[in-house]
Chains A and B, each alone.
Chain A
Amino acid sequence: MKDIRKIKKGRKITQGIFFSLFKIATAINGIALLVVISFLVINGWRAINWTFLTQAPYDSMTKGGIFPCIVGTIIISLGAILIALPIGVSSAIYLNEYARPGKIVRMIRLGINNLAGIPSVVFGLFGLALFVIWLGFGVSIISGALTLAAMTLPVIIGASEEALRNVPNTYREASLGLGATKWQTIYRVVLPSALPGILTGAILGISRVAGETAPIMFTAAVFYTPSLPSSPFDEIMALPYHIYVLATAGTEIEATRHLQYGTALVLIFIVLGLNLLAIFYRTRLRRRL
């Protein structure tokens, strides 16, 4: 009897040890996030003021603000999403509403999965070769937006498919039963119910695109532009690239430290803000379903 109790106790202890390890591992995630954010906030908040947010840099980037970078990042992220969203949602509609399982669908999915796995710098090379050089768009907003759109396409397709899958089949059947065609059903019934989910995906897409550096290094972003872009064929400054340049390439790396912190803080404020928005929105959606 005593032995059994001992064994039982041993088993309990093993369980306790492993469960604590799991808890610690999970806690490390939270701590990492907290450390990075608080480090940026502590060092960056003093750099942020009205001038910083609304002025262009001057004195070879050691003074002034990051206004052109904010504008550039917003323009290029929105541009990328405007290109990727219609294509992504349409692909998802085909895959979820029209396609029957088979070879073609498997090929399409294989394409999407592999596209999702391509490194961002390879997208940069692709954008450089196709958009900048071959199509002659030059280093420009349009080249960068197209490159980023290609990169974010799998994310948009995935989110839209999930949103479409979550629309109950009874909706479709009711609409078809009333004599609507397939397209009418999709357009009038399925899409409106899936719209919130699709928008959540789009927000996540924007946040991901806004933080990307490697794909725009060769296709859209430059160290410095004297004026804000006025056409899609202009080059831009962007927040992530600005951080990279200030932190690595300048001769005044130490002198611009506060600007680097400030820029990084603005960037994660935008990116994490959009993410929180999407998470919050999605939780509310799930509750409603």
Chain B
Amino acid sequence: MSVEDEIELMGQRLNEKIKKIFGRSLHIREVDAGSCNACEVEVNALSNPIYDIERFGIHIVASPRHADMLLVTGPVTRNMELALLKTYNATPSPKLVAAMGSCACNGGIFGETYASGGGVDKFIPVDVYIPGCPPRPQAVIFGIMVALDKLPQKIGKTGVKP
């Protein structure tokens, strides 16, 4: 199967999920908490004409206040810790957090040092982990789907309707 067909197939499933849960679209805010910028290359690739995730109802937004989900990359550096917390707090509930890339999952090659805090889940609650260095765009789409399945439970807990 070519990449295009693969994406088309995944995208349809994704679109159905988004329609069921959100009615129309899922808004994502990407936060770089200290990555090496490889994950950003792949997140940007999601918007190119080959993947074009916007057609499946995913929109990458400019502010956390508009977002349903945070996509966090990088081992949380000492200097980005506060900015990440502020971004998380600015995102309205119920919210999803996906940790993208090995560093965001557990600190990766940078681990825990004087400058790097390790995985994202040490600082904010994480719903789904997307491993890879960097994960391929297909993996990111799959990760988003897994995260979406978790949302109904979350809504049940908080009682807030999207």
Q: Are A and B a genuine interacting pair, yes or no?
A: no
Show the binding face of B for A, using Cβ within 8 Å. none
Show the binding face of A for B, using Cβ within 8 Å. none
